[in-house]
Structure formats: structure tokens, C-alpha cells
Amino acid sequence: MSENIIDAQSEVIMHFDLKLEDGSAADSTRINNKPAKLVMGDGSLTPNFEACLLGLKKGEKKAFTLAADDAFGQPNPDNIHHMERSRFSSDLELAEGTIVAFSQPDGSEVPGIVRSVAGDSVTVDFNHPLAGQTVIFDVEIIDVLPAQNKG
């Protein structure tokens, strides 16, 4: 098996552009010219994203259109929270579309998007910003490394 073909355990270095159906850019590794590095099967991509990459070779370019269910999933109503305005820093300007980082008990941060502000109530959406969207995933495989021996 050639080293430069992506299989289920490969480490992949790639540039990608993520666009919405209307052509607007959602994310791109080219902006900072920092390719993404991922290990297939590590859970950082959905199985459908990974399936698109399988079999691609170093130097190959390909575009995939993924429906919401295959990309970032559908928005989950349980991820939308109504919070008191007092929970936010007083100097933070809360407007629709503002992204706020919330600290988790383990020290990590989770981004939430302010969906509405009504008096003292702020509605924050913790769904992935691209949940519910069809995305076009345009990849360029820079390098494929054989799986690191685990254990």
C-alpha cells in the first residue's frame, strides 16, 4: 500500500476551504497559510467527512458537498440557553451574532452565539455555527503520513 494514500489511520496535512451553498466562506486554512493536521479516526471529523478523504493522494484536490446531517449536524434546541444579563461582563457589548467564550468547569472554553437580547434575558446558542447548513468542503492534500504506531 502506498504511503501517500489516505487510509483509516493516516495522518493527513491539508488545506481546506469551507464554503456555504451561497458561496460565502465559512472557514479556510489558507487565510493564515496554516494547513490543518488531523489523524483519521480521532473523532475530529465526522465519519462522512473522513469518508470523503479516504483514498485521496498527496497533491490531490477535491471538493465535496455535504448536507447538514453529514457535516455539522442539525441545531439541537437543547443547546440554546436563556441567561441573565448579569452573567455577562458589564463592558461586553451583547448584540445579535456576538460570539462569547464560556469557560467550562474543566477550564476549556465553549463558544456561544448571542441570538437575541431582550431586557435582562440573553439567548445564547451553543450549536456549531454551521449546524443546519449544507457545506462545500474543498480540500488540497499536502501530505499523507503513515499511521503512527500506537502502543
Per-residue confidence (pLDDT) for residue 5, from 0 to 100: 94
The boundaries of the domain holding residue 91 are 78-125
Tell me, yes or no, whether 33 and 17 share the same domain.
yes
> Mind listing the pLDDT tens digit for each residue in 17-61?
999 999 899 889 998 899 999 999 988 888 888 999 999 999 999
Tell me, yes or no, whether 33 and 104 share the same domain.
no
Per-residue confidence (pLDDT) for residue 48, from 0 to 100: 86
Residues of the chain with pLDDT under 70: 1-3, 149-151
Give the contacts of 15 (CB within 8 A, at least 6 positions apart).
Answer: 28, 29, 30, 35, 36, 139, 140, 142
Tell me, yes or no, whether 120 and 134 share the same domain.
no
Tell me, yes or no, whether 36 and 51 share the same domain.
yes
CA distance 61 to 68: 22
Tell me, yes or no, whether 111 and 89 share the same domain.
yes
Per-residue confidence (pLDDT) for residue 116, from 0 to 100: 96
C-alpha cell at 27: 472557514
Asked if 95 contacts 124 with a C-beta cutoff of 8 angstroms, the reply is no
Tell me, yes or no, whether 82 and 52 share the same domain.
no
Per-residue confidence (pLDDT) for residue 44, from 0 to 100: 81
> Phi, psi at residue 17, to the nearest 5°?
-120, 130
Tell me, yes or no, whether 17 and 63 share the same domain.
yes
Per-residue confidence (pLDDT) for residue 151, from 0 to 100: 43
pTM of the model: 0.71
